[in-house]
Amino acid sequence: MSEIPAELLYRESHEWVRDEGNDVVVVGISDHAQAALGDMVYVELPEPGMSYEQGDACAVVESVKAASDAYAPVSGEVIEVNTALEDSPELVNNDPYGDGWLFMVQMSKPDELEGLLSPEAYAELQED
């Protein structure tokens, strides 16, 4: 069973969101997603300053097996990306909710947080 921290919110497409206050969130992919994809070898991150709508493909995580899109869980501007992933993409496998984070977003529609999945709802989704 994969790990689903209680303090985070989730999206059906397996991104997680951590609310940092001031309408800023940190985004990554879930433990379930990293395990399904396997060993990460490359992460293509968005450019800081780019804006995305909720659901836009904005990053690509590539494992040995396959390339997979990561989607913006909320709308807004990317204000920071995890440059450590350039040399150490395996952080996404080893610490998906910590050092393996992908990017930070300054939300343009903070209400979107309410539409994301609770840890319980995300756990249920995985059971299906």
Partner 1 sequence: MNRTPLYAAHVAAGARMVNFAGWEMPINYGSQIDEHHHVRNDAGMFDVSHMTVVDIRGAEAPEFLSLLLANDVAKLQTPGKALYSCMLNESGGVLDDLIVYYMEEGWFRLVVNAATRDKGLAWLERQGAGFSIAVTEHHELAVIAVQGPHAREKVHTLLPADVAGQLAELRPFNVYMHGEWCFACTGYTGEDGYEMMLPGNEAEAFWNRLLEAGVAPCGLGARDTLRLEAGMNLYGQDMDEDVTPLVSGLAWTVAMKDDRDFTGRAALEQQKQEGVPQKLLGLILEDRGVLRPGQKVITSAGEGVTTSGSFSPTLQKAIAFARVPAKAEVSCEVEIRGKYLRARIVKPPFVRNGKACEGIL
Nearer to partner 1, 67 or 79 (CB): 67
39 near partner 1, rule: CB under 8 A: yes
Nearer to partner 1, 94 or 118 (CB): 94
Contact map string, positions 83 to 102, toward partner 1, x by CB under 8 A: ---x------x---------
Q: State residue 109 phi and psi, 5-degree precision.
A: -135, 75
The DSSP 8-state label assigned to residue 74 in this structure reads S
Kindly tell me which residue out of 19, 53, 62, 80 binds partner 1, with binding defined by CB under 8 A. Answer: 62
**Which strands form 103-107's sheet, in the order they lie side by side?**
9-10, 15-19, 24-29, 103-107, 76-81, 51-52
Longest CA span, the chain: 38
Residue 56 C-beta: closest distance to partner 1, Å: 14
